[in-house]
Amino acid sequence: MAMAINEREENGEYESLDDFCDRLDSKVINKRILENLVKAGAMDWTGETRAGMAERIEKVVASASSAQKDRASGQGGLFDAMEFAAPPPVTADSPAPEEWPKDERLEHEKELLGFYVTGHPLDKFRGVVDSERFIKLGLLDEVDLRDKRARFPFAGMIRSIEHKVTKAGKPFGVVVVQDFTGDREMVCWSESYLPARDAGLMAAGQVIRFQAQISIDDRTEQRRLTGAQIRRAERNPT
């Protein structure tokens, strides 16, 4: 985004989403790039909701592209005088779209940036997940594994899950679970998987606490978990 920074330094702060698009080459700041900027939170400075900007992107990009073409052909006088300070006013006939839920906004940030910016999906569970009762996933490599049968307490959120079946026909799950320090893969064999699935816990977004054995994957040499006693995690006390 060096071009956007240079333009801002040379000609002043951007005033709105429309102003941002109008001042930058529409061949570079295209619809897809602008959508990603909105989803990542990079356009929050406009004061508009991300949902509202996402709904307007196609029209904003088309308008900016048309104005730039007119300026290039010498017809830019009218457009140069236009102001791009604010989105169209909200009326009873065209109410602003409802903002995306916080979890959806955070998921976009994680997907596009690799990390969360404006919060964390586990914020409502911080007092529990971050407590000393549970081992942190980011510190898994520091756990003493001399007792290979030992089970350790963890808590976190399921980011993704693969529902599988063994050759013997027993269902099990391969889960990626995360806390505030990182994420790890966990296998849940049938005896642990089925009760958790029946309780509605084997799904992305579920916040759980569990016991787990720690082993080292022969292929990746990374530590992985085998989960048991999976329960729903409590929310922060209010």
Does the pLDDT at position 92 exceed 60? Answer: no
Cα(161)–Cα(58) distance, rounded to whole angstroms? 34
| Coil vs helix vs strand at 56 | helix
In angstroms, rounded to a whole number, what is the distance separating the alpha carbons of residues 53 and 45? 12
Q: Which domains does the chain have, with CATH numbers?
A: 2-101+109-113 (no CATH), 123-232 (2.40.50.140)
Q: Give the DSSP letter of residue 98.
A: P
Q: For position 137, what pLDDT does the model report? A: 94
Q: How confident is the model at residue 41 (pLDDT cuts 50, 70, 90)?
A: very high
Mean pLDDT of 197-222: 92
Query: What does the pLDDT read at residue 85?
Result: 44
Prediction pTM value: 0.69
pLDDT at 91: 46
26 CB contacts (<8 Å, ≥6 apart)? 61, 64, 65, 68
As a whole number, mean pLDDT of residues 6-14 equals 90
pLDDT surpassing 70 at residue 7 = yes
Supply the pLDDT for residue 81: 43
N-terminal to C-terminal alpha carbon distance within the chain: 42
Ranking 20-34, 49-63, 93-107, 154-168 by mean pLDDT, the lowest is: 93-107
Strands 171-179, 182-188: pairing is: antiparallel
Interior CA angle at 233 toward 232 and 238, to 5°? 130
pLDDT band at 237 (very low <50, low <70, confident <90, very high): low
pLDDT the model gives residue 89:
54
Specify the pLDDT at position 29.
Answer: 85
Q: What is the pLDDT of residue 223?
A: 87
pLDDT digits (tens, 9 = 90+) for 154-201: 999 999 999 999 999 999 999 999 999 999 999 999 999 999 999 999
What pLDDT does residue 86 have? 52
pLDDT at 238 over 70: no
In this prediction, residue 149 carries a pLDDT of 86
The pLDDT of residue 94:
59
Q: Mind listing the pLDDT tens digit for each residue in 129-142?
A: 999 999 999 999 99
Distance between CA atoms of residues 201 and 3, nearest Å = 46
Which has the minimum average pLDDT: 50-59, 85-94, 143-152, 162-171? 85-94
How much is the mean pLDDT over the chain? 87
As separate numbers, helices (DSSP H) first and strands (DSSP E) second, the chain gives 8, 5
The interaxial angle of helices 50-72 and 31-40, nearest 10 deg, is 150
